């Protein structure tokens, strides 16, 4: 049964944050709210959770997983960022963007996109996520919680309600964080900067104008 963890959206209680972090530390998979919908999250080195995420979202090896980072300094440990890319990413963070960049040796090989050796990174503007990252002490392996559609309803389905997530993913995730406020039903804007030229991969919550 999926565990509910209630965390205040403006003043996250440390006790509740620690409960979520304990689930991650024990190898669990959580669903948590961000500034652009819910995400699935696990520890970086958790290969079992990575396989569970792939199964839930039906992902292939072309998918870019995301490292959700606390700040720009932490982001710089996991991806290569030259001066031009630095300015572009710095200006857009924190916010609802995911940037695809070449991974450093700090990134486990299983998380890198198979051919390009790239990985997604982002810095959310969300107090619960920042509290989690502060307590974990490292980025959280994440992907937007989009579920595959059905024959009757084709296309990905965005999950925005904790109860709905718990019901849909019962037995497949370990905990869901409830913030008590409405979650944005729009995923991040994804920008590929791996070749030093901005390519908008997905239009989402973030303004694409700076990258066009």
What pLDDT score was predicted for residue 196? 84
Band of residue 147 on the pLDDT scale cut at 50, 70, 90: confident
pTM, full prediction: 0.93
What pLDDT score was predicted for residue 155? 56
Burial status of residue 38 (CB atoms within 10 A of its CB: 0-12, 13-18, 19 or more): buried
What pLDDT score was predicted for residue 68? 97
Q: Is 60 exceeded by the pLDDT of residue 59?
A: yes
Q: Tens digit of pLDDT for each residue in 65-102?
A: 999 999 999 999 999 998 888 889 999 999 999 999 99
What pLDDT score was predicted for residue 151? 43
What pLDDT score was predicted for residue 136? 96
166-187 average pLDDT score: 92
Q: Are strands 66-68 and 118-122 parallel, antiparallel or unpaired?
A: parallel
4-26 average pLDDT score: 97
Mean pLDDT across the chain: 92
Q: What percent of the chain has pLDDT over 90?
A: 75
196-205 average pLDDT score: 92
Domains parsed from the chain with CATH numbers? 3-211 (3.90.870.10)
Task: With CA atoms as reference, report the closest residue to 8 among 95, 126, 138, 166.
Answer: 126
Distance in angstroms (rounded) separating the CA atoms of residues 170 and 145? 14
Band of residue 1 on the pLDDT scale cut at 50, 70, 90: confident
């Amino acid at each position: 049964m999926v565990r509910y963890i209630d965390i205040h959206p403006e003043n996250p209680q440390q006790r509740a944050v620690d409960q979520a972090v304990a689930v991650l530390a024990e190898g669990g998979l959580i669903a948590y709210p961000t500034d652009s919908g819910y995400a699935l999250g696990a520890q970086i080195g958790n290969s079992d959770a990575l396989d569970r995420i792939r199964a839930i979202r039906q992902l292939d090896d072309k998918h870019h997983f995301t490292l959700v980072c606390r700040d720009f300094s932490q982001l710089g440990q996991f991806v290569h960022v030259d001066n031009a890319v630095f300015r572009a990413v710095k200006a857009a963070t924190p916010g609802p963007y995911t940037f695809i960049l070449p991974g450093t040796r700090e990134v486990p090989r299983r998380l890198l996109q198979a051919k390009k050796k790239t990985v997604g990174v982002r810095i959310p503007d969300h107090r619960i996520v920042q509290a989690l990252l502060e307590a974990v002490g490292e980025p959280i392996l994440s992907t937007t919680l989009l579920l595959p559609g059905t024959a009757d309803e084709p296309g990905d389905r965005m999950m925005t309600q904790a109860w709905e997530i718990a019901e849909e993913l019962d037995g497949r995730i370990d905990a869901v964080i409830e913030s008590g406020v409405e979650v944005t039903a729009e995923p991040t804007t994804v920008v590929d900067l791996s070749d030093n030229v901005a390519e908008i991969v997905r239009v989402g919550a973030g303004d694409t104008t700076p990258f066009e």
